Chains A and B, each alone.
Chain A
């Protein structure tokens, strides 16, 4: 059991590290500028390892830059969601009246189907990376806030909290010094789940043609390939559809493995819940 967890976690970490390096070093790794046009629909060759797409862009370079776009959106959304969700969760769990209000808002937003609403909003606004980030943020913080709150509800009844109160510790001090450190494992796992969710949602949205056309993510590359009428006509799918799809799969897989390993390590009482997203 323990070995399995460690192996899975390590595999996940290696996968994520590779993608992170590719994203950071994209301009140095990519053989071409992803917007530069060459011959259209070229088959893989030594010049274009994954061929070119319908407007003559080098697919490999598109994918390398796409790593940047996909990971950037997911990272920004999950980080902000984590900060906002954790803060609101702490407040909601510690202060009853405020908590009641915050939780009603969370309940309502969680009941409204997330993806259909995101699709509708995305079709109304001009697609850009920052607009996509803004849309995902509307829903990103909800689950974190709910989970952190329920944990805080039990933590605040512990004796050490009462003891700190008796010696005159302020609410803020208790939250910061005694409650926050205890919810960190939950926050970390939640951060990974949110990242998975955003990567899948963003690629889905882009696959439907709602991504930023100036900053191609993996989902956008897949979209372009999918709407190409001759995509199944020959072997084009091998270098145009499989690579972007596998990039998404491996990233999610890496995150899932790391999330699973972390969950088992940090909080063995918790049952694994890293998956179950709506895609």
Chain B
């Protein structure tokens, strides 16, 4: 029953996101096309040819009544038709899927490292509660979290690219490179991946760290930990067998939210490192005011994040039966 409720809730959210996406260009002053042809705009509008204009008009279907536009839009989405990118002159879905692998690589790697580090540092900190080690970690991580991801990326660029020159400036691969072996290609990709991943991990570590620390502090106050101590078990054994597993529970939900933060974070990190993924695409869409692409990306990113949250909710219900009764 609980699962069905959750599913219905997420379907409503999906419907609302789709509706927001539909209304945005239509409720703003003027019509969507006026932005693209506005001579007063401070951003160079993408070159508009007659053909592109027509495609755009057809996509928005502004000559038809609103209800018909809405139905057509929904049917289009179900069919996977996200419109036509003005800047790239290609279907939005095609443009997005072409960039997807890089973002998957970036977000996947970062999430894995982020969660592992967050758990380890958080648990260490809580275990040393109130001592110098704990306070040091807490203050360092609070401070690191004050860096906006784009500024952190810029700092890492200055240090490791400009000053030390040990990492490439931008991109996901060396341009026009020919590889003599697959290992060389993998090495090149990893070489380009390190700085963006480091930026994403460092700028987001605070959330998981604090959650793990708090969760662990809560668990350490439980009766069964005291029982374990009373039984004379070693501290290491208590930490690993009794405390850690139970403290990990909230991290499951957090991981899904982390994926959401990471996907949002890629907008900035991929921009700073010109990493050819979804986030960089969004920056370009903003820069050139490519509205169909921008809206397609908004839908894509939102559905990914909401989907991740849905999965987390489902897993959580299975892991912690107490949730059902709340």
SS class, residues of chain B in contact with chain A: helix
Known: A1-B130, A112-B13, A112-B17. A207 touches B298 (CB 8 A): no
Known: A241-B154, A276-B210. A232 touches B169 (CB 8 A): yes
Q: Is B287 an interface residue (CB 8 A)?
A: yes
Query: Which A-chain residue is minimally distant from B290 (CB atoms)?
Result: A123
| Chain A positions within 8 Å of B158 at CB level | 232, 237, 241
One of B12, B169, B260, B295 near A120 (C-beta < 8 A): B295
Query: Which A-chain residue is minimally distant from B161 (CB atoms)?
Result: A232
Are A260 and B150 in contact (CB-based, < 8 A)? no
| Chain B positions within 8 Å of A209 at CB level | 43, 286-287
Q: Is A217 an interface residue (CB 8 A)?
A: no
A207 to B147, CA, bound (A): 14
Are A123 and B289 in contact (CB-based, < 8 A)? yes
Total A-B Cβ pairs within 8 A: 144
One of A112, A123, A200, A275 near B142 (C-beta < 8 A): A275
| Chain B positions within 8 Å of A123 at CB level | 285-286, 289, 291, 294
Are A232 and B149 in contact (CB-based, < 8 A)? no
Q: Is A184 an interface residue (CB 8 A)?
A: no
| Chain B positions within 8 Å of A111 at CB level | 10, 13, 306, 309
Q: Is B112 an interface residue (CB 8 A)?
A: no
A125 to B283, CA, bound (A): 16
Are A245 and B145 in contact (CB-based, < 8 A)? no
Q: How many residues of A contact B (CB 8 A)?
A: 47
Are B151 and A248 in contact (CB-based, < 8 A)? yes
Given contacts A116-B297, A124-B25, A237-B158, 20 further A-B contacts (CB under 8 A): A111-B13, A113-B301, A116-B305, A120-B295, A124-B291, A200-B148, A208-B267, A208-B271, A208-B286, A209-B287, A213-B42, A222-B150, A226-B272, A241-B154, A241-B158, A257-B142, A260-B142, A275-B206, A276-B145, A278-B265
Instruction: Report A's interface with B, CB cutoff 8 A.
Output: 1, 4, 8, 107-108, 111-113, 115-117, 119-121, 123-125, 200, 203-204, 207-210, 213, 222, 226, 232, 237, 241, 245, 248-250, 252-253, 256-257, 260, 271-276, 278-279
Q: Which 4 A-B pairs have the closest CB atoms?
A: A276-B207, A245-B151, A252-B146, A271-B214
Instruction: Give 27 A-B contacts (CB < 8 Å), ordered by A residue.
Output: A108-B12, A108-B16, A111-B306, A112-B13, A112-B16, A113-B264, A116-B298, A119-B282, A119-B286, A120-B295, A123-B291, A124-B35, A204-B148, A204-B268, A207-B150, A208-B286, A209-B43, A232-B162, A237-B158, A241-B154, A245-B151, A245-B154, A249-B146, A249-B151, A272-B210, A274-B142, A278-B260
